[in-house]
Structure 1
Amino acid sequence: MDWQAGLLDGIAAQDTPEACFLLIADHAADIGFEFCTHGMRLPVPITRPRTTMHSNYPSAWLQRYHEQGYMDTDPTVAHGMRSSSPLVWSDAFFANTPQMWAEAQSHGLRHGWAQSRRDAEGTYSMLIMARSEGPLTDAELSRLTPRMQWLVHAGHEAMKASGQDPAREQGAVELSDREIDVLRWTAEGKTSAEVADILNISERTINFHINSVVAKLGACNKTSAAVRAAMLGLLW
């Protein structure tokens, strides 16, 4: 399809998240959505994962959304965190957040579609497309869902490639096979002595590998290193 080739070519030409988002928003507009938001959450740091958001929603709504802390109760966000199934906005979907739903509609955000994606490295993103007029019909969804889902995946990869990739931020960490073995057992709660018995090597060697991965991952201890490596997809 020409739109796929055009999007891929456009993505390859961008080098910032902002430029990539403008391209995503343009394609959303091409299929009938005047508003678009793309959010991405990196898997590290574990206790305060960095979240970025790009949006062309009305500025007054974005300010209100932030001031009221609606992200904490937004059912679209909650759905995306627990499921990668696409969703269509409806009165029933926002039944538990009537004030937020009424305010969103007053700013022109009346009909929407969203889907999230979480990749092997633990990076999570969600694409939301919305418009002020015309509900999404079954016929329209049947025709557009493949393209919308393709945009979800292309947008995710575009944002990572444009500088929001946790592997890049982690300095493209490379662990040896032995270091990965040691971390896997450490993640299972084994002590250095137990891992030494399992792998049939000395405890001193185990501790050497642990110290190495702690340094490579910028962690404070072996538990932190094991969790960080798992979140970055290094223990597969």
Structure 2
Amino acid sequence: MTGTADGRSAEETAPFDSRIAPEDGPSDEPALPGPDRVVEGEREMASGTDLAADVAALQTQFDVVRYLRRLAEDHGFRHFIICLIPPIEVAKLSETSIVSNLPKEMLASFDESGLLQHSAGFRRLRSTTTPFCLSQQEWTRETTRAAEAAQHMAVSARHQVEQVAYFPVHNADGTRAAMILMGEQRAIPMAEMMELQMVAIYLYNRLTEIGAFWRESDVALSEREIQCLNWTAAGKTSAEIAGILGLSEHTVNHYLNHVTKKLNAVNRTQAVVKALRRGLIS
């Protein structure tokens, strides 16, 4: 339930390249594997082996977007987003989006209302690893900014969003994210929820492998920050790094704390992992 106050599109404000779904239209590209199988007009859930093979065949974030578009349509949803679950101080969903087809009006409404910190869905995502659904009424009732929530719901209703399904995931370094699907109100069977949860896990891990969101242009480290991270990766303590670089231990801690915040990491170890994956250190 979520472009911007200055009128820019979601593509222009997404923090990573190609996070927003490309427009539909004719394409000469080969067909991608589908998220399910169709038997006599009815959707049949793919086996775990089929799902793993289908997702592994996705080569770019655009492939993931097309896959998600089909997945959403096949399951009766209109909109989707895969995003990081940010710490409470992050204020905008657009800053955490990885891939999405959310209408820019919805995303702008969500961000301008400051709902990321108050959303019932994101509050639950921070405390559970189990998929769940919220109806429009439940989301509005449980979101702590009632007036802003009601205004955003009016925007969402114009885009036929009556219900949101949340699927929390994480990768090997502990970074948490979620696949969120939005559409009309309906009862979703538990088996379907669990199937979609498995899809979310495979897709998020595939995005990590593709590197779709590890190439952030807005993260730049200073020479000292890179040096401190490299020595931390080598197993050195702050005191040891201070001796090597001719700095005070306090200054080394300052550099490491600063770079940890830049990388949205929970500690130095995670900062090193993220920096390595993004090619910021070697």
- TM-score class, shorter: 0.5 to 0.7
Correspondences of 1:7-22 after superposition (within 5 Å): 7-22=51-66
Matched with 2:17 is none
**Which deviations, in whole Å up to 9, do the C-alpha atoms of 1:137-188 show, x marking residues without a partner?**
xxx32221220110120121021112146599999xx9899933x44xx5xx
Correspondences of 1:52-67 after superposition (within 5 Å): 52-67=97-112
Bigger Rg over Cα: 1
Moved more, 147-156 or 114-123: 114-123
**Which deviations, in whole Å up to 9, do the C-alpha atoms of 1:197-229 show, x marking residues without a partner?**
xxxxxxxxx448975xxxxxxx97455678332
CA distance, structure 1, for counterparts of residue 233 and residue 177 of structure 2? 32
> 1:8 is aligned with what amino acid?
A
Tell me, yes or no, if structure 1 residue 116 matches structure 2 residue 168.
yes
Shift of 1:130: 1.7
Tell me, yes or no, if structure 1 residue 151 matches structure 2 residue 206.
no
CA distance, structure 2, for counterparts of residue 66 and residue 178 of structure 1? 36
3-state secondary structure, aligned to 1:113? strand
Matched with 2:138 is 92
Tell me, yes or no, if structure 1 residue 129 matches structure 2 residue 177.
no
Matched with 1:198 is none
Matched with 1:195 is none
CA contact (8 A) 1:20 1:162 kept: no
CA contact (8 A) 1:122 1:232 kept: no
Q: Which residues of structure 2 form unaligned runs of 5+?
A: 1-44, 144-148, 246-252, 261-266, 275-282
CA contact (8 A) 2:119 2:139 kept: no
Tell me, yes or no, if structure 1 residue 162 matches structure 2 residue 214.
no
CA contact (8 A) 1:21 1:38 kept: no
CA distance, structure 1, for counterparts of residue 74 and residue 169 of structure 2? 22
Shift of 1:232: 4.8
Where relative contact order (Cα < 8 A, 6+ residues apart) is larger, the structure is 1
Size of the aligned set, in residue pairs, is: 196
Shift of 1:79: 2.2
CA contact (8 A) 1:39 1:54 kept: yes
CA distance, structure 1, for counterparts of residue 177 and residue 233 of structure 2? 32
Matched with 1:103 is 155
CA distance, structure 2, for counterparts of residue 42 and residue 11 of structure 1? 25
Correspondences of 1:4-83 after superposition (within 5 Å): 4-40=48-84, 51-83=96-128
Moved more, 56-65 or 118-127: 56-65
> 1:131 is aligned with what amino acid?
G
CA distance, structure 2, for counterparts of residue 167 and residue 55 of structure 1? 17
Matched with 1:229 is 269
CA distance, structure 1, for counterparts of residue 166 and residue 203 of structure 2? 13
Superposition TM-score, scaled by structure 1 size? 0.63
Q: Structure 1 vs Structure 2: percent identity of aligned residues?
A: 15
> 2:130 is aligned with what amino acid?
S
Shift of 1:42: 8.6
Shift of 1:128: 0.7
**Which deviations, in whole Å up to 9, do the C-alpha atoms of 1:36-82 show, x marking residues without a partner?**
11113699xx9xxx633322233432343344444343322232233
CA contact (8 A) 1:116 1:125 kept: yes
CA distance, structure 2, for counterparts of residue 177 and residue 67 of structure 1? 38
CA distance, structure 2, for counterparts of residue 100 and residue 42 of structure 1? 20
